[in-house]
Structure 1
Amino acid sequence: MVSLNKVVRAFTHEGARGKRLTPEMELKRALMNCLLWEDQFYEDGVAIADRIKALVPKVAPERTAQLAVAAREAMKLRHAPLLVVREMARSEKHRPLVAETLERIIQRPDEMTELLAIYWADALGPQQQRKRQPVSAQIKKGLARALTKFDAYQLAKYDRDGAVRIRDVLFLVHAKPRDAAQEKVWKQLVDGELPSPDTWEVSLSGGRDKRETFERLIAEKRLGGLALLRNLRLMQKAELLRQTIADAIEAMRTDRILPYRFITAARYAPDFEGELESAMLKSVKGYAHLPGRTRLLIDVSGSMFHPLSAQSEMTRAEAACGLAILAREVCDEVEIFTFSNDVVKVPPRRGFALRDAIVNSQAHGGTYLGKAISEIDRKGDRLIVFTDEQSHDAVPAPKGRGTMVNVASYQHGVGHGAWTRVDGFSEAVIAWIAASEETMH
C-alpha cells in the first residue's frame, strides 16, 4: 500500500509546469491532495506526512492557521487540518496560535481523539510500547475549549472504542464545564452511563417497528441526507407512504452529497428517480467552477462496470458518471466523449439523462485510451479523463491542461508529469482540479 508520505511528495514535487512554488503554495497543494485521501488518512495508520511536516514551519503562522481552518471549513477535511495543528505545536513561532486554531477546526467529538492519535503517532506502534510524548499546553487548551462545544447526544454518538477515548481527552486536559448540566454529562461520560444516542442505526437495531421509526426520524429531522439515500430501499420495504419519502428527499440537505451517491440510490429505488435527480442537481449548485473550455473523456470499457472495491456496491462507471454529471454543471463550456474500442461523442445532457447517454453510448469492450486522447485532445482546452487506466495502447502527453482521474479506488497516489494524475476516486476531484489550477496561476 502506498503511504501518504510518498503521495504528498509526489504531489508537491516541483517541475509539473516548470514553476517554482513557495512553501505556502506547496502547503496549500499538499492539503488539497489530502482531499483525495480523507477516508484513508487515519485508517491506514500512516506516519505524519514528511512534506507537511517540513512545510509548516516555513509558512507564516497566521497563514498556516488560515490554511488549516480553510481545509476544515471550506474543503471539509477532517484529518489534514489536525495534522497541520499538530505540526504547529512543534514550532515555537506557530505555537501561540494552536489553541485558537484547534478549537475552531474541531467540529466533531471524535476529532479530539484523532488529534491525540496523530499527536502520539510516533509512540503508538503495533504493540504501543513506546512512551507517549507529553501533550503541549496549547494543545490541551484547544482541546479543553473544544470539549465544551458538545452535548450528551454528540458525545454518546462519537464515543467509540479505540486507543484514545473521549473520556481520555477529558482526563488529560482538565476542562471546566460551562455549567452544572454539562458537568453532569461529563460525569456520565466518565462513568460510561451516557444515554444511547437516538440515531437511525440504534433505533432500527433495537427491534422497533421500522415504518414508525423511519416516520419519526423523518418528522424530527434526525435522518441525514446520506442516511436517507442509503435507506430508501428499506423504507419502501417498510411500506412508508410514497409522499413521505418524496417529501424527505425534497427537504434533505444536499450540500455535502455528490452525484454518484444519487446514482447509486436510484439503482435501488428507481421509483424515486425524478426526486433524486432534482436533489442531485441541487447538490452541485455553488460547487467549484471550471472556467473556459473542457472536454470530458469517460471510460466505458468492460472493466469499468466492476465494483470500486470488495466492500462497495458502486461500480467504477457509476463513480465516473457521477463526476461527469458534476463537471457538466460546473464547466463554462463542455464536450463529452466516451471511449472503449471506439470514441463516441455524447450529447451534454444533465442528470440521469447524461448517465444513460454515457453508459449506452457504445459496447463495453477494450480500453484504447491512447487512441481516444489522440482523437479528441485539443490545444487550449482542458481535458479530464475518468478511467481505471487499464489501457491497451500508449497514452500520449496532453496538448494542454490534462488531468487523468483513475476511479479504481484500490490505487492511491497523485503525481505530476505530462499529465496531472489523480489515482483514487474522491468526491473532491473536481474541487481539487479547480483549486490546483488556481494555485498554478
Structure 2
Amino acid sequence: MARFNTRASKTAGAASPVTTTVSTRTHLGGKGHLRDDRSELFLLAIANFVSQQTYHESGTGRDERFAALVRKLAVEDPAWTAGLLKWLRGDGQMRTASLVGAAEYVKARLEAGATDGPTNREVVASVLHRADEPGEMLAYWASTYGRNVPKPVKRGIADAVRRLYTGRSLLKYDTASKGYRFGDVLNLVHPTPDPEKAWQGDLFQYALDRRHNPDTAEPPASDRTLTAHRALMAVPVEERRALVTGPGGAERLAEAGMTWEALAGWLQGPMDAAAWEAVIPSMGTMALVRNLRNFDEAGVSDEVAQHVAARIADPAEVARSRQFPFRYLAAYQHAPSLRWAYPLEQALGHSLTNVPALPGRTLILVDRSGSMWAPLSDRSQLNRADAAAIFGTAVAMRAADADLVEFGTSSAPVAFRRGESVLKVLERFGDLGGTDTTEAVRRHYRGHDRVLIVTDEQASYHRAGGPTEQIPANVPVYTWNLAGYRPAHGPSGSANRHTFGGLTDAAFRMVPLLEAGRNARWPWED
C-alpha cells in the first residue's frame, strides 16, 4: 500500500530558522514554548515599534527585552546580529528598532572589549538610511548613555552623513523641532566631505551657519535647490499664491525643494485645489497616499487625480516607497472617494509580491481576538488584527484552493472570490473576543494540505493541547507571528512546524523553499 511515496507527500526534514526550545505557558495560560535567543530577537525586532505599549507587554518591558537580547547576541554572535540589524532597516522596514539595536550593539561590544565580527562603525552606518537619522542616533545615545559618544558611533554617523546630506534633505529635515540639527551633528562627528561631491563642503558650512547664525547664513551658489528656495522665500506673501498657481509654479516648487507641509506655511493660507495641484508633481508616493482625503476635500481636478492614481499604482513606485502593506488599507479607510479604491488595491498587491501561490488545499486562520486590536504604535490607528487580515486574505486569494477563517473566542469562515478586491474582503472581518486558537483549528481543519495561522500566538488554555498539535504531523503548519511576544503557541524549526513574522511580506519567501523540502535560512542569508 502506498502511504508515503505519493504526489501529496511532504518532506518533514526541512528546517526553518525560528526555533523553539522548552515548554512554557502563553500569556493567556495556553500550552506554549520558549524560543532560542536568535529566534526571540528576530520576531521581536520585526514587530517592535520602540516605546509602544502592547496588549500583553509594557513598552518599557518590551524595550528592555529587546535591548538585552541585542547586547547579548552582539557579543556572542556579532555577524548574525549585524546582519539582522542591516536587514531590519532595509527589507524589514523597521526604522527605530534598527537604530536602537545598532546603538545597543556598539554599547555591548565596547563594554566587552570585543573586536571580532563586523565593526561597530559599519553596523551604525548600515542602519542610517534617511538624512534625519544621524540626529536620531545621537539623540538616542545621549538620552540613554550620556553625551560622551564613542568614536565608532561618531564614525558610523559620519559615513552616513556623507551619503545622506544634500540641500534637499536639509530643507526637509533640518527643522527647529529637532533636538540635533544638521549643524549639531556636523559639530559632533566631524565628517570629511565626500571627495566625489564637490558641493558637499559648501553644504556642510551652510548647515553650520544656518544653525549658529541663521539671520546671516547664505545658501551656497553651488546648490541650486538651496538658492531656489531662498529666492522663493523672499517673495512677498501677497504674491505667493499667484506665483505658485500660475505658469511654471509647479516647477519652481520642485526646484526649491518645497514640501507640501512647508508650502502650507509659506502660503499663509488654505491649501486649495490650485495649491495642491502645484505641489503634487513633486510629492513622494506615500505623501500622496496620506493626503488623498485632502485632495478630495480641496477639489483637485480629475486629470490631476488620474496622475496621482497612476503613481500610487505603479509597482516601481510601490517598491521604492518601502511602506508596510497596511498603509494602503489605512488610506482606503480614510479616503472618502471611490476613485482611489482601485489604485490602492493595486498598490497593496504590489506590496505583497512575496506572498506565494500555494497549490492544493490551504486552511488560513486569521486571529481577530482582543489582543490583536491594540494600535501598532501611538501614531497609528492601524492594528495587528487588520495586518493579519491583509496577510491571510492575500494568501487565500493567490492559493489554488483556500478556506479563509477568522477566529477569537469563536470562529467563522470569511467569504471571498478569486479576483475580488482584497480591500473589500477585509471589510468582512470582525472582532471575535478571546483567543481559542486550538478550537478554531479543530473545527475547521478538514484534511488540508497545509495550515497558515496569522496571530500573536497568545492562545488560551484548551484541554486538547496547543493549536499545532491538532494537525497531523505530516501536514505543514506555518505560524505568522505579528507581535513578537516571548511565548510561542507551538514548536517551530523542523518537523513541518515553522514560524515566520513581520509586518512586511519579506519572510513569505521561505514558504516555497520549505514546500520544496529545502531548508529556509534567515532572510538576509538568502
The 1:300/1:112 distance shift into structure 2, 3 A limit, reads closer
Distance (Å, rounded) in 1 between the aligned partners of 2:97 and 2:432: 40
Structure 1 contact 404–419 (Cα < 8 Å) conserved:
no
Indicate whether 1:77 and 2:106 are aligned.
no
Structure 1 contact 402–419 (Cα < 8 Å) conserved:
no
Alignment of 1:225-236 (within 5 A): 225-236=285-296
Structure 1 contact 262–276 (Cα < 8 Å) conserved:
yes
TM-score, normalisation: structure 2: 0.62
Q: 413, 421, 431: which one pairs with 2:506? A: 431
Structure 1 contact 316–388 (Cα < 8 Å) conserved:
no
Q: Deviations over 1:180-221 (max 9, x none)?
A: 43233322343263878622222224425432232122223x
The 1:278/1:60 distance shift into structure 2, 3 A limit, reads closer
The 1:266/1:335 distance shift into structure 2, 3 A limit, reads same
Structure 1 contact 35–432 (Cα < 8 Å) conserved:
no
Q: Deviations over 1:112-162 (max 9, x none)?
A: 1232344345435xxxxxxx44412x3222222222221133134233545
Structure 2 contact 35–488 (Cα < 8 Å) conserved:
no
Q: Which runs of 5+ in 1 are unaligned?
A: 1-10, 125-131
Match of 2:467 in 1: 397
Distance (Å, rounded) in 2 between the aligned partners of 1:13 and 1:414: 10
Q: Deviations over 1:410-441 (max 9, x none)?
A: x8734324277xxxx9633x435666983499
Indicate whether 1:418 and 2:490 are aligned.
yes
The 1:162/1:67 distance shift into structure 2, 3 A limit, reads same
Match of 1:344 in 2: 413
TM-score, normalisation: structure 1: 0.73
Q: 271, 288, 298: which one pairs with 1:238? A: 298
Q: Which runs of 5+ in 2 are unaligned?
A: 1-17, 24-31, 218-225, 230-256, 493-500, 515-519
Match of 2:74 in 1: 56
Indicate whether 1:260 and 2:322 are aligned.
no
Aligned residues: 405
Q: Which has the higher contact order (CA 8 A, sep 6+)?
A: 2
Structure 1 contact 258–284 (Cα < 8 Å) conserved:
no
Alignment of 1:246-395 (within 5 A): 246-252=306-312, 253-255=317-319, 256-267=322-333, 268-272=335-339, 273-285=341-353, 287=354, 289=356, 294-298=362-366, 312-314=380-382, 318-328=386-396, 334-339=402-407, 341=410, 343-344=412-413, 346-347=415-416, 349-350=418-419, 352=421, 354-357=422-425, 359-360=427-428, 369-377=437-445, 381-386=450-455
Distance (Å, rounded) in 2 between the aligned partners of 1:309 and 1:96: 32
Q: Deviations over 1:93-122 (max 9, x none)?
A: 148723344334321122212323443454
Match of 2:236 in 1: none
Structure 2 contact 35–486 (Cα < 8 Å) conserved:
no
Distance (Å, rounded) in 1 between the aligned partners of 2:373 and 2:346: 25
Q: Deviations over 1:381-436 (max 9, x none)?
A: 23214589797977842235353756xxxx8734324277xxxx9633x4356669
Equivalent residue letter for 1:172: L
Match of 2:275 in 1: 213
- 1:254 is displaced (CA, Å) by 1.6
- 1:37 is displaced (CA, Å) by 0.8
RMSD: 4.5
- 1:365 is displaced (CA, Å) by 6.6
Higher mean displacement: 384-393 or 86-95: 384-393
Structure 2 contact 481–502 (Cα < 8 Å) conserved:
no
Q: 136, 142, 147: which one pairs with 1:114? A: 136
Distance (Å, rounded) in 2 between the aligned partners of 1:419 and 1:13: 5
Q: 186, 200, 206: which one pairs with 1:170? A: 186
Indicate whether 1:34 and 2:45 are aligned.
yes
- Partner-residue secondary structure (3-state), 1:295: strand
Q: Deviations over 1:298-328 (max 9, x none)?
A: 3568998997788654476644432334334
Equivalent residue letter for 1:33: L
- Partner-residue secondary structure (3-state), 2:145: coil
Equivalent residue letter for 1:73: G
The 1:53/1:218 distance shift into structure 2, 3 A limit, reads same
The 1:192/1:66 distance shift into structure 2, 3 A limit, reads farther
- 1:55 is displaced (CA, Å) by 1.0
Distance (Å, rounded) in 2 between the aligned partners of 1:280 and 1:55: 35
Structure 1 contact 27–56 (Cα < 8 Å) conserved:
no
Structure 2 contact 49–96 (Cα < 8 Å) conserved:
yes
Match of 1:186 in 2: 207
- Partner-residue secondary structure (3-state), 1:207: coil
Q: Deviations over 1:14-52 (max 9, x none)?
A: 34799996xxxx547624531101454799674571111
Structure 2 contact 49–377 (Cα < 8 Å) conserved:
no
Structure 1 contact 294–382 (Cα < 8 Å) conserved:
yes
Distance (Å, rounded) in 2 between the aligned partners of 1:148 and 1:335: 52
Equivalent residue letter for 1:295: L
Structure 1 contact 200–217 (Cα < 8 Å) conserved:
yes
- Partner-residue secondary structure (3-state), 1:254: helix
